[in-house]
């Protein structure tokens, strides 16, 4: 029974690590895009010699979009991961309770066949 529970848990864990990875690295990908956009804004300022809104608006806008996309990907991934993890823990508890109940029933059966009262 223990081996069956462990096999079931391994099957349930498939995909959870990928989801956790997506949730944890997405903000960093967004941050990378932000840094890239700011670098482009600074490059444009250096090329034109002025810091007008026309020069920096495009790259800064791209930076903000990259940040927003990173966060927009991370939040649902983390929420879904936590939901699946809670559901998995509940199933583990249910399977362990079931295995324990089966063990008690089997023990009572064995003892009753030997004439011992449990």
pTM of the model: 0.69
Average pLDDT over residues 5-29: 85
What is the 3-class SS of the chain, one letter each residue?
A: CHHHHHHHHHHHHCCHHHHHHHHHHHHHHHHHHHHHHHHHHHHHHHHHCCCCHHHHHHHHHHHHHHHHHHHHHHHHHHHHHHHHHHHHHHHHHHHHHHHHHHHHHHHHHHHHHCCCCC
pLDDT tens profile 92-117: 889 889 989 998 998 888 888 877 66
| pLDDT given at position 83 | 94
pLDDT digits (tens, 9 = 90+) for 52-87: 888 888 888 988 999 999 999 999 999 999 999 999
């Amino acid at each position: 029974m223990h081996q069956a529970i462990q096999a079931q848990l391994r099957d349930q864990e498939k995909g959870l690590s990928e989801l956790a990875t997506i949730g944890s690295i997405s903000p960093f990908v967004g941050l990378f895009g932000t840094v890239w956009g700011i670098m482009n804004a600074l490059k444009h300022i250096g090329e034109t010699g002025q810091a007008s809104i026309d020069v920096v608006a495009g790259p800064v806008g791209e930076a903000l979009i990259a940040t927003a996309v990173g966060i927009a990907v991370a939040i649902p991934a983390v929420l879904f991961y936590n939901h699946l993890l809670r559901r998995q823990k509940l199933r583990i508890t249910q399977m362990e309770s079931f295995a324990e109940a089966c063990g008690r029933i089997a023990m009572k059966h064995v003892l009753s066949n030997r004439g011992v009262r449990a």
